[in-house]
Structure 1
Amino acid sequence: MTDHIAIPARAGDDLSGPLVSVAPVAFPSRDRPVELQVRLTAPMTDRALPIVVLSHGHGPSQYVSSLYGYAPLANYLAASGFAVLQPTHLDSATLGLRHADSPEAPLYWRSRARDVSSVLDHLGVLDKVVPDVAARMDTGRIAVVGHSMGGHTASMVLGAQPRDPATGHRVNARDERVSAGVVMAAPGRGGDALHPRAARHYPVLNDTDFTTMAPPTLVVAGDQDHAHHLNVVGAAWQTDAFHLSPGLKFLLDVHGGEHSLGGISGYDSAETTDENLTRALLVLETTAAFLRTQLGVDDRAWSVATARLAREHAALATVHERRKDIPRWTDAQLRRVQQGDDFHVAPDRDADRTPGRFIWVWAVALGGDVYVRSATRNSRWVHSAVTYGRGAVAVADRELRVEFSPVDDEAAKDRADEAFRVKYSKDPYFSEDLLKNSRHQIVRIRPLGP
């Protein structure tokens, strides 16, 4: 019998079926040159469906890089009990914008991450278009999956911070609604690992900081995916998100796998240089099992899948696990910040980590993090903090190395405003105008590890 990927037909107890797929669904597209279109694929009967946002790559094919691509992956995830949402990003070959006169062209890397958050912001659109499916979606359980440049997008949504080549600032696109992710065949670190031509044509890849990518993540990489046009390291480059990020991480090392990992990006796709249905199915099964466990669908799915892989398919792939502790503020430090008024910051002055001068600031403890702000227009210390992302703080006569990141999410700004209001409302300098005028200068601070 010819090998095939059994989708969407029922295949044992693990898969659901049949599926429903609806496209294109138009989402709000403010400040976007074209409408944001999305495909929804989901089981027709299952309930309490976790959501997966699937970000396509930047490949050369006309339709693979759009909501029309990645059918093997989208269908398998849907058949595994997820509602899969596929946005068409601005770099899609179907839109013809790769050579547009735009500072984001050709990759539209920032817009890609915004697309993921925009889809989650406007899930209510589905209530009108596909109300039956929308009523069965669980908006409290969300993951992101991306392949190739879509893996870069997924990494950003999970917390990785590239440096904007236009401003020199780190870009924080972390969406806290997303609790786990899968990063497939994605770009790694920049610097001396990047091919000089790639550094010129895709400058955003020059410097990505994975140390801020904390959520549980499965990194999938083919050991024959050398991507010589992008890097000088070889296939190991696509494993950087696994090796350089904190928290619980897994690596699926696909033996013999090239960039398309056996054919996950399309049925009979011309881009697939290593077409192998057994390999592709293994990647799909492992991805689905990881997400089913991380999103609370089946606590045993991951352990069962990895045990079976080790027992029956060790020649095809290997799973590695890495758990790096995430530095946290201690309860005592958070109490001191919240109860005291002696918090000082000293952002680094340049990329060479030249120490800055300590400055007293307002500070609040919120959700396990520390938030500070400046009421000074165009604050120099805020500029240094968000540009260089590192520095020191002093609290309770103790100095700590920390990382700084700007707060861009409006809901997070609202929460921070309320925390500052509660703590400082009796301060003679406090006013509602001060909060309003300094919302763009709220900075989150987290401790760095040793």
Structure 2
Amino acid sequence: MPESLAQAITRAGSAVDLLRNAQARPTVFPVTPEFSNWRSEQQSWRTSVALLDQSHHMTDLFITGPDALRLLSDVGVNSFAKFQIDQAKQFIAVNHEGYLIGDAILFYLAEQSFDLVGWHMVLDWVQFHGETGDYDVSFERDASSVVREGDPKLYRYELQGPNALALMEKVTGAEVPATKFFGMATFTIDGVEVRSLRHGMAGQPGFELFGPWADGERVRAALIAAGEGLDLVLVGSKAYSSANLESAWVPSPLPAIFSGEGTDAYREWLPVTRTGSLAGSLNSDRIEDYYITPYDIGYGRSVAFDHDFIGRAALERHAAAQNRQKVTLVWNPEDVASAAQSLLEPGLPVKYIDFPKARYGQHQLDRVLVDGKDVGISHDVGYITNEHAFVSRASIDNDHATPGTEVEVIWGEEPNSHKPAVEKHRQVSMRATVQPAPYSAFARENYRKS
């Protein structure tokens, strides 16, 4: 049997030591990195239409049975009172202390049938409670292509950009019916039935198309053919991995599974291979210092206290004392350039800053300071071509979250960890300015209207 997370923590000495020196790669997107170049590909979802392949890097957890909806309601903070077939939602779960486990997209496919899609963190939590609780429910797990043998069960393509609607009407030969954000519809493309989620990944109008893997290449070819004259751009993994920087989604906060009520059994159940790595200048021996609440990263709108769920009482207390909020930090260009220049000078360089995505662990947590005092955590970090800006998503104390506030981000680890993506480097302070999240005005004003 594979080593459990509990066994791995015992071997490493602590959860922090295990995660900070984990040999897992920061992120893996097993698709073409660039079809042209990631700068032009980033621009396509703002100026024309982008086609992105999501078939390989995410996990699908298919949940079926009479108690499937009850399980999701017992675990998720969302309201399920009006949830219906052909709808989707951002599913969010917390631990018993109200700290975030993670999020994923939940598709209501048919009666007693759901697909939970995304990072494995929240999928694992749901499956554990379904298997160990009193639920008449079954699971089928289709992991990412990094670990799966054979083809995916489903293809999944994303169309994003101002020309996405025109492309859909061209490829289907019909007017696209009005569909609310996160609503689903069914289309016919080249004689193949295709299901669609109305979505806005980078703040632009878009569609997420999915269906049986055997139909995938036929659908993709039809989309490419219909894209002629509409400036369709194929987007690779480099640009795709940075799209969240525009929409302000934080893709992989550390799941609060390493302490708290009911987590001992979970760590015994969970294979250590399904835990990632911890990176950044936040370096505390207390694993709880890395936890966040849903409110810290803007998920408060999804919390509904209309049902009982794991962590409800604790989350109500967090709701009454929302101390932090999600912002964008725009890093000082001179400081980013200076970090790059250090590679060309004698001596120990600054931690390498990769483009377009610069995080070097699955869970990136960097200290944010004002006048030498910690005021927040910087999460995902990278470059937005469309804004000519190097930015990070951050959770900041309310007193320092006003746009225009000057802060510092501590970049690099001290001491250096032993993760594969960490070279010998020195830690530095990067000036940054607080701005709204999303940073793009279009995304802020139109994300859920498209």
- Please identify the structure whose Cα radius of gyration is greater: 1
TM-score per shorter chain, which class?
Answer: under 0.3
So what's the TM-score if we normalise by structure 2?
Answer: 0.28
